[in-house]
Chain A
Amino acid sequence: MSSDSSASLAARLRAPFEGPNTIGNSNGFWASFGVAVLLLAIYPVLFGPYAAATSSVFLVYALLGVSLCFIWGFCGILSFGQVAFFGVAGYTFGIVAINLSSYTGVTLGIVAGIAVATLFAALLGYFMFYGGVRDVYVTIITLVVALVLHTFLGQTAGSEWAVGEAALGGFNGMVGIPDLGVGVGDVGITLDGAMHYYAALAALIATYLGLRVLVNSQFGYAMVATREDEARTEMFGYNTTFIKFVTFTIGGALAGLSGVLFVTWGNYIDPSEFAITAAAMPVIWASIGGRESIFGTIAAAIAIQWLELQLTGEWALVIVGSLLIIVMLAIPKGIAPGIRDLIVALQTRRQEPASDSPAPTEEVSD
């Protein structure tokens, strides 16, 4: 009883992040979330800055996966085009930062990269949703947009395809993109190596918590309603077109952020980021991890990319592909919601014999 006040403080702190739209509202979930964050935070200390610098890209991919999870899992928009915003932001950052080679350039590059990706997503979203394009046709348009960019950037090898100092480079890609950093003129800090890792981790955690607040807000309820039954939601007076437009734009902005983090990690980008195999990766992460669980998508993105790196041999894609087929057939909603259902089922079974006992006060999950 003495821990009552501290428990209620924790509950008050947690409240904005919890609701029916997120999986994992229990003490157990937040404890494991804390452990996961802690492990990710001390990873560079345990394995050294080099390992951290190499692993940074997993967090970047996780963020890209989250951008899809948000629009697909919560609003029902399946986009194969997240890589388009990812890549456009990357190229934009490269063009700005290479041309203005100072901290100002890098800082402006971050802003410009995300802004251009957001604007691009807004334009495409406006074009599609206000034009009555829906369901699977949205998926196909977004896929085609990514493939158009792939074809377009693939033929920019000539010297006429350069913006100032920055050559687009065709299939050889754009090289010499500066590191991540912030500052003005010559004064600022460069975030490379382990610092890039922490920057990506901070972006990922902030995005995760921010999206949890958003999907459990009034807007989030409207998003989920749109996913479940668009016609009925519209009958209730919600502007579902606008909801989809805003959701898609936010997803584009997040993909843009991950694109900027990606090019500052490898100092390089090429058109293969827009190819069909790349375009499908976010869909694979979200499908396997569970598209209605942001946490599941993050875990799946990191695990699958890590697995792919370990299985450098020719069997890597066979295994990832088979995994995708098996998970989709066995647990159509993905692993994280599957685990949730399992926990709920186990608990109800345990409680059934003692059904006359008072109802449990603690809600483990929604």
Chain B
Amino acid sequence: MALYELLNLTFQFLDSFAFIVLATVGLAIIFGMMGIINLAHGEFILVGAYATTLSFNLLGVPLVLAMLVGIIATTVYGIILERLIIHRLYGRLLDSMVVTFGISLVMIQLTRIVFGNSLDQIGTPFGGISYGVYSYSAYRIMLAGAAILTLAALYVVFTRTTFGIKARATIQDEETARSMGVDTDRMYLSTFAIGSALAGLTGALYAPTITMSPDLGANFLVEAFVAVVVGGPSVLIGTSLAGGFLGTIDAIFTYVGGTFIGQVALLTAAIFAIRFLPDGITGLLEDIRAKRREAQ
């Protein structure tokens, strides 16, 4: 019996972890690498989720293909937005927040006008895994795998490829990067496109599990912001650690007291984390590393 309870808690943790990581990565890349706070991040996820659901329902394509459509649609959407609006906001952190909030308002309302208050939802695939008297959705467990794969893929892209090194050089020192022959303008655009694609991926993956309404982005926004801030300046490690930390707290308190208590515990933990670690978890790690170097 205790084993089953432990399994329940583990699944709960995997679920929270996957949700936090997938909700956060797109936002974290755009914020951490470009200094743009995208308050319309939830609506990027909305685009991914709606494109997936619509192509599945209307065109009858297989789910995997529909998800691909979702990712591509969000990427294209992100590129258009970057060229039209976002590229004017580089270096204007607070302004970027206000403008993207405007984008978010317009997006939610336009979606409502065009598609109404809800769409038919895709059924959750794969069924469940049973153990004892309990069962758990296999798809949700797969999401945890998808979250880890995404992090690993991004790590490879940003540390092992020429593109990743150029992108990081642009973020660290734009002028020097440009004088070395890097097309920095294109790097910003590509980074924003990757961030958008990740938001699209999140939307596509969660499309079968959440209610398709125009304000579905709000479900992701809070967790995403909290995790970005708790994670700190180093994007990928920060997101993974924040997902682990906040996921644990969310899982334990949800398990003990229900969804609401879990949510409140998560947000309270986040406020304390920001208060005591103003530079996030990776800021703390950086401090420890610097001290150790000094000691040597």
- A interacts with B: yes
> A: which residues have CB within 8 A of B?
78, 127-128, 131-137, 139-141, 143-145, 147-148, 151-152, 155, 276-277, 280, 283-284, 287, 314-315, 317-318, 320-325, 328-329, 332
Residues 232-264 of chain B, each 1 if its beta carbon lies under 8 Å from chain A, else 0: 000000000000000000000000000010011
Q: How far is the CB of B118 from chain A (nearest CB, A)?
A: 15
Residues 195-223 of chain B, each 1 if its beta carbon lies under 8 Å from chain A, else 0: 00000000000000000000000100110
B103 touches A325 (CB 8 A): yes
B85 touches A325 (CB 8 A): yes
Q: Of B98, B260, B271, which one neighbours A283 at CB under 8 angstroms?
A: B98
A136 touches B267 (CB 8 A): no
Nearest residue in A to B260 (C-beta to C-beta)? Answer: A155
Secondary structure class of chain A's binding surface, majority of residues: helix
Apart from A323-B102, A325-B85, list 11 A-B contacts with CB within 8 A.
A131-B276, A140-B226, A144-B222, A144-B225, A144-B270, A145-B271, A284-B102, A324-B99, A324-B101, A328-B102, A332-B95
Q: How far is the CA of A147 from the CA of B221 in the complex (A)?
A: 11
B110 touches A143 (CB 8 A): no
Q: Show 12 residue pairs from A and B whose CB-CB distance is below 8 angstroms, ordered by the A residue.
A: A128-B275, A131-B275, A134-B278, A137-B274, A137-B278, A140-B274, A141-B275, A148-B271, A151-B260, A314-B109, A320-B105, A325-B106
A317 touches B109 (CB 8 A): yes
**Given that A144-B222, A277-B105 are known contacts, is A325 also in contact with B264, CB under 8 Å in the complex?**
no
**Given that A131-B275, A329-B85 are known contacts, is A78 also in contact with B94, CB under 8 Å in the complex?**
yes
Q: Which residues of B contact A143 (CB under 8 A)?
A: 225
Interface residues of B in 84-98 (CB under 8 A from A): 85, 88, 92-95, 97-98
Nearest residue in A to B225 (C-beta to C-beta)? Answer: A140
User: Is B295 close to A, CB under 8 A?
Assistant: no
A140 touches B229 (CB 8 A): yes
User: Is B113 close to A, CB under 8 A?
Assistant: yes
Nearest residue in A to B100 (C-beta to C-beta)? Answer: A325
**Given that A131-B278, A325-B85 are known contacts, is A283 also in contact with B229, CB under 8 Å in the complex?**
no
Q: Which residues of B contact A318 (CB under 8 A)?
A: 105-106, 109-110, 113
**Given that A139-B97, A140-B225 are known contacts, is A147 also in contact with B267, CB under 8 Å in the complex?**
yes
Q: Which residues of A contact B270 (CB under 8 A)?
A: 144
Q: How far is the CB of A316 from chain B (nearest CB, A)?
A: 8
Q: How far is the CB of A341 from chain B (nearest CB, A)?
A: 17
> B: which residues have CB within 8 A of A?
37, 85, 88, 92-95, 97-99, 101-106, 108-110, 112-113, 218, 221-222, 225-226, 229, 260, 263-264, 267-268, 270-271, 274-276, 278
Q: How far is the CA of A276 from the CA of B221 in the complex (A)?
A: 10
Q: Which residues of A contact B103 (CB under 8 A)?
A: 321, 325
Q: Which residues of B contact A152 (CB under 8 A)?
A: 264
B98 touches A287 (CB 8 A): yes
**Given that A148-B267, A325-B102 are known contacts, is A317 also in contact with B97, CB under 8 Å in the complex?**
no
A-B pairs with the 6 shortest C-beta distances?
A321-B105, A324-B102, A321-B106, A325-B102, A317-B109, A131-B275
B260 touches A78 (CB 8 A): no
Q: Of B94, B99, B113, B271, which one neighbours A325 at CB under 8 angstroms?
A: B99
B97 touches A136 (CB 8 A): yes
A136 touches B112 (CB 8 A): no
Q: Which residues of A contact B105 (CB under 8 A)?
A: 277, 280, 317-318, 320-321, 324
Q: How far is the CA of A127 from the CA of B271 in the complex (A)?
A: 10
Q: Which residues of A contact B264 (CB under 8 A)?
A: 148, 151-152
Q: Which residues of A contact B229 (CB under 8 A)?
A: 137, 140
Q: Of A136, A148, A315, which one neighbours B37 at CB under 8 angstroms?
A: A136
A133 touches B99 (CB 8 A): no
Greatest chain A CB density within 10 A among B37, B88, B105, B260 is at B105
A136 touches B263 (CB 8 A): no
Nearest residue in A to B98 (C-beta to C-beta)? Answer: A287
A324 touches B98 (CB 8 A): yes
Nearest residue in A to B35 (C-beta to C-beta)? Answer: A136
Q: How far is the CA of A131 from the CA of B98 in the complex (A)?
A: 25
Nearest residue in B to A154 (C-beta to C-beta)? Answer: B260
A280 touches B101 (CB 8 A): yes
Q: Which residues of B contact A324 (CB under 8 A)?
A: 98-99, 101-102, 105
Q: Which residues of A contact B112 (CB under 8 A)?
A: 314
A141 touches B271 (CB 8 A): yes
Q: Which residues of A contact B37 (CB under 8 A)?
A: 136
**Given that A133-B275, A152-B264, A320-B105 are known contacts, is A328 also in contact with B99, CB under 8 Å in the complex?**
yes
Nearest residue in B to A128 (C-beta to C-beta)? Answer: B275
A314 touches B113 (CB 8 A): yes
Q: How far is the CB of B260 from chain A (nearest CB, A)?
A: 5
Q: Which residues of B contact A287 (CB under 8 A)?
A: 98
Q: How far is the CA of A148 from the CA of B267 in the complex (A)?
A: 7
Q: How far is the CB of A340 from chain B (nearest CB, A)?
A: 19
Q: Which residues of A contact B110 (CB under 8 A)?
A: 318
Q: Which residues of B contact A151 (CB under 8 A)?
A: 260, 263-264, 267
Nearest residue in B to A76 (C-beta to C-beta)? Answer: B94
Nearest residue in B to A134 (C-beta to C-beta)? Answer: B278
Q: How far is the CB of A308 from chain B (nearest CB, A)?
A: 11
**Given that A131-B276, A140-B229, A324-B99 are known contacts, is A317 also in contact with B260, CB under 8 Å in the complex?**
no
Q: Which residues of B contact A147 (CB under 8 A)?
A: 222, 267
Nearest residue in B to A320 (C-beta to C-beta)? Answer: B105
Q: Which residues of B contact A276 (CB under 8 A)?
A: 218, 221
Q: Which residues of A contact B94 (CB under 8 A)?
A: 78, 136, 139
Nearest residue in B to A329 (C-beta to C-beta)? Answer: B88
**Given that A140-B225, A320-B105, A322-B106 are known contacts, is A148 also in contact with B278, CB under 8 Å in the complex?**
no
Q: How far is the CB of B271 from chain A (nearest CB, A)?
A: 6
Q: Which residues of B contact A135 (CB under 8 A)?
A: 93
B278 touches A133 (CB 8 A): yes
